[in-house]
Amino acid sequence: MDVPELVGVVVPHLTAVAGAYGGAVVQRVVDQSADVTADAGVGVGRRLLQRLLRSGRSAQIGQAVTEVGEQPDDRASRERLRAVVVEALSEDAQLTKDVARVVADAGMPGWSVTTLGSQGVQVGSHNTQTNYFGPAPDGPR
C-alpha cells in the first residue's frame, strides 16, 4: 500500500479518536491505561496515533489531531492533519511499515471513501447505480 492509500485509511481513524476524546486527545492516547469505553474504530485510532506520536513529526501530529478534536467540523483542521500524516509517512519508511502493520492487524481494507455534501455514492466494483434528482427522464417511477 502506498502512502496516499495508507493516509486514506489512517486519517479517518485519527479523526474518530479526536472526535471521541476532543481537545484532550493526545493526553488520552498517551495515557497507558486501557480505555474500556473505546469502540473498535477508536481503538485502532489510538494505536495509530500512539505510533505516529513516536515519530519525528510528533509535535506536528499532536497539534493537528488536537485541533481536529477541538473543532471536529472544521475542514481545514482535518486537511492539516492529513497533510502532516502524509509528510510523516513520506519521510520515514519504518513509520510507514509500522502504520501499515497496524492497519493490516486490524483487518482494515486498503482503501477508504470520504464524501462531503454528496447526493449519491457508489463504492465497490461492477456495481450499477442510477440516481435521479428530480423527475426521472422518462416520467415518474
Q: What is the pLDDT along the chain (141 residues), one digit of tens a residue?
A: 788 888 888 888 888 888 877 777 777 776 655 454 455 557 788 889 999 999 999 999 999 999 998 988 899 999 999 999 999 999 999 999 999 998 888 876 555 555 555 555 555 555 565 666 666 566 655
Q: How many CB atoms lie within 10 A of CB 63?
A: 14
Domain residue ranges in the chain: 3-105
CB atoms within 10 A of CB 56: 12
The rounded distance, in Å, linking the Cα atoms of 80 and 65 is: 9
pTM above 0.75, yes or no: no
pLDDT of residue 36: 47
Helix count and strand count (H, E) for the chain: 6, 0
As a whole number of angstroms, the distance between CA 47 and CA 135 comes to 48
